[in-house]
Structure 1
Amino acid sequence: MNRWSRTVHMVVASMALVCVPAAAGVAHADPAIYVPTPGVESTYFEPGPSAVTERLGFGCCDSTGAKFDIWYPTGLSATRHPIVVWGDGTNAVPSQYAYLLRHLASWGFVVIGTENQNTGSGVDIRKSLDYLLAQDDDPTSMFFGKLDKTAVGAVGHSQGASGVLNAMRDSGGAIKTAVPLELPAQHFCSTSTSCADTRSLTTGSVFFVNGSADGLISPSQQLVPWQAEGLQSNQAYYEATPANLAKVWGTLNGPNHNDVQGQPDCAAASVPCTTGVYGYLGYPTAWLLAQLCGDATARDAFRSGSEFFTPSPNWRNQVGNVTG
């Protein structure tokens, strides 16, 4: 059952907060599809209270001439909204991830993605941010004075997962956190600029997520030391991320490379896809709210020994260093 329409009519009329409190979810997912962990994951697995508007080709352009697509809370509040910039996988466009991007917007984020299908360098992910920040400064824009420039996160899939790490590295601190989904092993990089190297990160935080059935492009572990072979696994990327940065890694049980494109199931996704987008909803949303909006309940779920690290039928390989 699809929980969404083009504009989602789940508005909480009296809502003043943009970073939505944990009790605000109102819709219900089919529990037979994916049963989230009770607590933070189950809360943010549900859509947030905001109706969502989607506008494809909203603005122009990145360095290649590609347009920007955008998802945002329909009733933009007087309180400034946090931002999420999106990175496409190779040969994909943001609308292929619309279910996930609508979900984030329902929790108060303004989400923007370039239609560029090669985002690995991160350059055009940063272009999308530059465009949106310019909208905040433009008195003629619907986003004038509506965006929180200090609360920017980046989420991306496959090549776009490399792209959001590169965009954060090169953003001068503007991008505060990154959530790379199905981060490719370095030997799959098409060019040196499309590779991610987490050793080069100096600011920000990272939540790595991969699917257990994506063992070729985004393997969980590698068999030889990453110091000798390079960063060829999510474990290697996690270990190479400097210890002074907040970092967490977890593997979803079951998803293949393109499950994140589920809308919400695999019917409209690129192949391979096995379970749909469900597992990518709750904890990534909670991470963004924790890192960008100071949601203490969400942040507590990622502390060592807390909810995210408990035995789960949905997750494995959970590791992290979040303490404060």
Structure 2
Amino acid sequence: MNRWGRAAVSAALIGWLASGGVAQADPGLYAPSAGTEATYFQAGPQAVTEEIGFGCCDSTGAKYDLWYPTDLGAAPHPIVVWGDGTDAVPSRYAYLLRHLASWGFVVVATENQQTGSGDEILSSLTYLLDRAQDPSSIFFGKLDTTAVGALGHSQGATGVLNAMIKSGGAIKTAIPFELPAQHWCSTEPTCTDTRRIKAGSVFFVNGSADVLAAPSDQLLPWQSAGLQSVRAYYEATTVPKVWGTLNGPNHNDIQGRPGCAQASFPCTAGVYGYLGYPTAWLLAELRGDTTARSAFATGTGAFLSPSPNWSNQTSRLEP
């Protein structure tokens, strides 16, 4: 088990013992802010097809899972690549990935459970781009290969940033969820450094109750301590960027279906908060949706307004 995996198991065990081994109750339906978040919190208009083990394989033999609009129609669809957390598989995140597909995205996810380097995430993109050029594939001529986003959780959050850095501009935007601090991987090739991102955009999202990934803030300046907090990663990023902390979620809430059902421990609030604004961000950055983009605009965007669901909202994004 790698360093991240050992840390996660230890922290999870401590939390489990402290709570007496009793799962926390689902707190109920998330109430999104009116407007942009509420719009994209709802499922999109497309019926969705899920294909587990659709394609094969990356360099480790891991297969690819897909979520996509059942009716691909004539218009090309933006692509989303996904990065799993340590020892997780894409089906853990099926509620979120199905939600994205309902809004018109074609989502491809490697079943690889160690995605921090970004290499296997890039392999999944190559796989799907090849299908877009294959006359025998259902994706032939159906994908917008110039509109690629990358999303990932925990180790996969590091992975999607590394994939973006290595992609040569092919990945236009990334959303790292629950990004680990650099000290968890300081001796491993799966670390990331947001100073190396030279193009595209990034939307950082973390949960306020996450004790396994990077905290929102750190005591020492990142220039001397390294990137040990989400704020440090955000400040070190020079491309257009946004950051927000969901109030309440723990490390694995993003896996909920929809509350904490079937999520790995710990989970406290469910997947709800990860639906609305991340979907709007992808529509803004990959489909050119100006209304969605305006929600994140520096100084004026709705995302920056006071909200019971979010804190630390900050943006460096032109309208």
What TM-score comes out, normalization by structure 2 length?
A: 0.90
AA at the equivalent of 1:138: D
Cα offset, 1:215, TM superposition: 3.5
Cα offset, 1:112, TM superposition: 0.4
User: Unpaired runs of 5+ in structure 1?
Assistant: 1-30
Establish whether residue 189 from structure 1 lines up as the match of residue 185 from structure 2.
yes
> What SS class does the counterpart of residue 215 from structure 2 fall into?
coil
The residue correspondences of 1:35-184 to structure 2 (distance < 5 A) are 35-184=31-180
Establish whether residue 232 from structure 1 lines up as the match of residue 228 from structure 2.
yes
Cα offset, 1:32, TM superposition: 4.9
Contact 2:28 2:259 in 1 (8 A): no
Residue in 2 aligned with 1:287? 281
C-alpha change, 1:256 and 1:32, in structure 2 (3 Å) is closer
AA at the equivalent of 2:304: F
What TM-score comes out, normalization by structure 1 length?
A: 0.89
Establish whether residue 246 from structure 1 lines up as the match of residue 206 from structure 2.
no
Residue in 2 aligned with 1:7? none
User: Unpaired runs of 5+ in structure 2?
Assistant: 1-26
* Cα displacement string for residues 175-215 of structure 1 (whole angstroms, at most 9, x for unaligned residues): 00000000000111275321110011101100000000014
Residue in 2 aligned with 1:258? 252
- C-alpha RMSD over aligned residues: 1.3
User: After TM superposition, where is structure 1 displaced by more than 4 Å over at least 4 residues in a row?
Assistant: none
C-alpha change, 1:99 and 1:190, in structure 2 (3 Å) is farther
Paired residue for 1:278, among 262, 272, 287? 272
| CA distance in structure 2 between the partners assigned to 1:307 and 1:290 by the alignment | 14
| CA distance in structure 2 between the partners assigned to 1:101 and 1:267 by the alignment | 16
Cα offset, 1:218, TM superposition: 2.3
| CA distance in structure 1 between the partners assigned to 2:318 and 2:261 by the alignment | 40
| CA distance in structure 2 between the partners assigned to 1:190 and 1:145 by the alignment | 42
Establish whether residue 303 from structure 1 lines up as the match of residue 294 from structure 2.
no
C-alpha change, 1:185 and 1:198, in structure 2 (3 Å) is same
| CA distance in structure 2 between the partners assigned to 1:229 and 1:192 by the alignment | 17
Residue in 2 aligned with 1:9? none
| CA distance in structure 2 between the partners assigned to 1:296 and 1:306 by the alignment | 12
Query: Kindly, what percent of the aligned residue pairs are identical?
Result: 71
Aligned length: 293
* Cα displacement string for residues 205-246 of structure 1 (whole angstroms, at most 9, x for unaligned residues): 00000000014422100111111110001000000001xx11
Paired residue for 1:212, among 201, 208, 228? 208
